[in-house]
Amino acid sequence: MEKRIELERRARKVNQITELNLDNCRSTSIVGLTDEYTALETLSLINVGLTTLKGFPKLPNLKKLELSDNRISSGLNYLTTSPKLQYLNLSGNKIKDLETLKPLEEFKNLAVLDLFNNDVTQVENYRDKIFNMLPSLSFLDGFDCNDEETQSDGDDDDDVNGNDSEEDVSGDDDDGEDGDSDESEDEVNGDVSLSEVYNDDLEEDNSDWEEGEGGDDDEEEDSDIDEADGDANESAASVNANEKDADKPADESQARGKKRKHDG
């Protein structure tokens, strides 16, 4: 326990420490905790293995003391040196009768006491007797004198952690619906979207490309026709030339025949 206390101090001055956690450090008695811890308000000694509270220091400002899951069966009178105690947890110990709890009458500010899992809880009319013994007590084992459970801070934690409420969630949905309605209004008012402009540009490019292909085909057809006409003209010219060549011998032969006849 002494080593654990030094570790928890973290080089701080003893009279400046307000909270000390010594849970699970194994010891059967209080060792190393002295009266010098005058500013201590919260002390936790859960599951340490304590069998006695002998040597418990004088802690004038102590308000909360955790002693659950130990083996304490008596000696609660050693706690009276801390008169400002408001919260005391003795659950999971070896307290068997109401007489052992008598020293707690000295605590005029004790508001919360936990004796769960102690044999004393099996005493007849245990709750009524404890509340009568300790008039300042507000909660015993997590319930008040009317058997109403202690209110937790769970709802407050949700608010602190920033969890969204149902109204906030529904508000987000409304925003999404408004966005859809804005788009539909744009379509009704004739506003052109980027996708439509993009599609129009693609259609114009396709039409220009088709026209370009058609023009090339027309030019090829015209050139083919011109070549055909040229070939036809050349063939016609060759035919005329042959006909002229064929006519020449006939004329010459006729001319020679007339000359010979004339000479004869």
Round the CA-based radius of gyration of the chain to a whole number and report it: 57
AA letter at 128? D
AA letter at 258? K
Q: What is the 3-state secondary structure (H, E, C) of 87-111?
A: EEECCCCCCCCHHHHHHHHHCCCCC
Q: What percent of the chain shows pLDDT beyond 70? A: 57
**Do residues 17 and 43 touch, judged by C-beta distance below 8 A?**
no
What is the rounded CA–CA span in Å between residue 5 and residue 57? 14
Least confident interval from 72-86, 129-143, 190-204, 244-258:
244-258
* pLDDT higher than threshold 60 for residue 233: no
Q: Sign of the C-alpha dihedral, residues 50, 62, 31, 100?
A: negative
| pLDDT score for 166 | 45
Dihedral pair phi/psi, residue 114, rounded to 5°:
-125, 115
* pLDDT higher than threshold 90 for residue 34: yes
| pLDDT score for 10 | 86
Closest CA to 78 of 56, 107, 105, 101: 56
Tokens 């002494």 identify what position? 2
Q: Sign of the C-alpha dihedral, residues 130, 133, 139, 141?
A: negative
AA letter at 138? S
The mean pLDDT of the chain is: 74
- What are the distances in angstroms from CA 204 to CA 198, 207, 209, 210, 211? 10, 5, 9, 10, 11
What is the rounded CA–CA span in Å between residue 71 and residue 93? 5
Sheet hosting strand 19-21, strand order edge to edge: 19-21, 42-44, 64-66, 87-89, 112-114, 139-140
Strand extents, DSSP E, the chain: 19-21, 42-44, 64-66, 87-89, 112-114, 139-140
* pLDDT higher than threshold 50 for residue 120: yes
Tokens 């059967």 identify what position? 28
| pLDDT score for 231 | 54
What is the rounded CA–CA span in Å between residue 92 and residue 71? 8
What is the rounded CA–CA span in Å between residue 116 and residue 129? 15
| Residue 82: pLDDT band with limits 50, 70, 90 | very high
pLDDT average, residue stretch 154-183:
46
| pLDDT score for 200 | 55
